[in-house]
Amino acid sequence: MAAPITDNTVIDAPIAQADTAITSIENLVTLTSQQYQLGALILMVSYGAFFAFILFFLMSAQSLAPRYRLVPILSAVVMASAGLSLLQEFSLWERSYAFVDGVYRPQVESEIFSNAYRFGNWTITVPILLTQLAIAMGLRQSDVQRRSWRMAVPGVLMIWTGLYGQFGAVGDFSHLNLWGVISSIFFLWLILEVRQTLIAGMNNTPDILKPWPNNLWWFFLATWGLYPLAYALPQLGTTAEIVVARQGIYALADIMTKLVFGLILARFVLRRSAFEGYMPAADAMAPAPEKPNTGGPGLRRAP
């Protein structure tokens, strides 16, 4: 927690707003103690959740057919990367405010809070998440590589244009909106590629599991769609409520698109392994499938 101070060196919101180097509304508003603590709690719970599931995903790989084991392993990599990024955000949040006269004021002369670390982390994790999806769909290796690239390119372009655009979150919103529209175009390209990957995966998915790709499609739309909402939120006002709400939406989106998405894929590939005849996966399921016979090669023990 930021240490209390008693001098008047902290810049207040109106003064900070005049500083053209400020590009985030978090550096322009004064927070009450409750708002400051809530923002810190949101960031702490976020990085704590990611770190907590690293071992779970690594252990999950043991029960899967060899072709699917990389899915939870990549989830563990995403957990570590996202956790470290949000730990940095949490540390920066603590250093960016000082307790003065019963409220928390931004210390723009010494520390400036930025959401840019999130965008940097997304540049790493988004291609990994999309590769996981292609692997989980049971595509051939050549198709996994091709479709991963086709999804990763618009994904990274979406992030980078959004990163450039978010520097316009203060003052004139024309920069924010222009690059937000450009980023949204790449997002539409991305969701079309995701849809095609899911359709391709349904062709060789056991009949009993065919609803999963369609449900994943709607989950993808609902959760990834939270990011544009948080991106545009500063236009509703430079207030403490917007600051906390934006951190909350970003955190919810990160947890849903990374942690919950990873759990869904882990469960999906476990069931897929079992119905394709891999006995350790069938043993791990509770209850195990009664007839894991969908045209696969019959149950077999791990080598």
* pLDDT tens figures, 69-99: 999 999 999 999 999 999 999 999 999 999 9
pLDDT of residue 203: 84
* SS3 label, residue 81: helix
Element (H, E) at 264: helix 261-275
Dihedral of CA atoms 291, 295, 296, 300 in degrees, nearest 10, equals 40
What is the per-residue DSSP string for 136-164?
Answer: HTT--HHHHHHHHHHHHHHHHHHHHHHHH
More confident residue, 47 or 7: 47
* pLDDT tens figures, 39-74: 999 999 999 999 999 999 999 999 999 999 999 999
Is the pLDDT assigned to residue 200 strictly greater than 50? yes
Minimal CA–CA distance to 26: which of 281, 247, 215? 247
Matching residue, tokens 């291609």 = 127
Q: E strands within the chain?
A: 97-100, 103-106
* pLDDT tens figures, 94-144: 999 999 989 999 986 666 888 888 999 999 999 999 999 999 999 988 899
Contact 62, 77 (CB under 8 A): no
Indicate the average pLDDT of the chain: 86
* pLDDT tens figures, 240-253: 999 999 999 999 99
pLDDT of residue 283: 84
* pLDDT tens figures, 217-233: 999 999 999 999 999 99
More confident residue, 254 or 206: 254
Matching residue, tokens 């479709």 = 147
Output helix, strand, coil percentages for the chain, rounded to the nearest 5.
70, 5, 25
The reported pTM is 0.84
Backbone angles phi, psi at 32, to 5 degrees: -70, 170
Asked whether the CA dihedral 223, 226, 228, 230 is positive or negative, the reply is negative
Minimal CA–CA distance to 286: which of 84, 53, 109, 63? 63
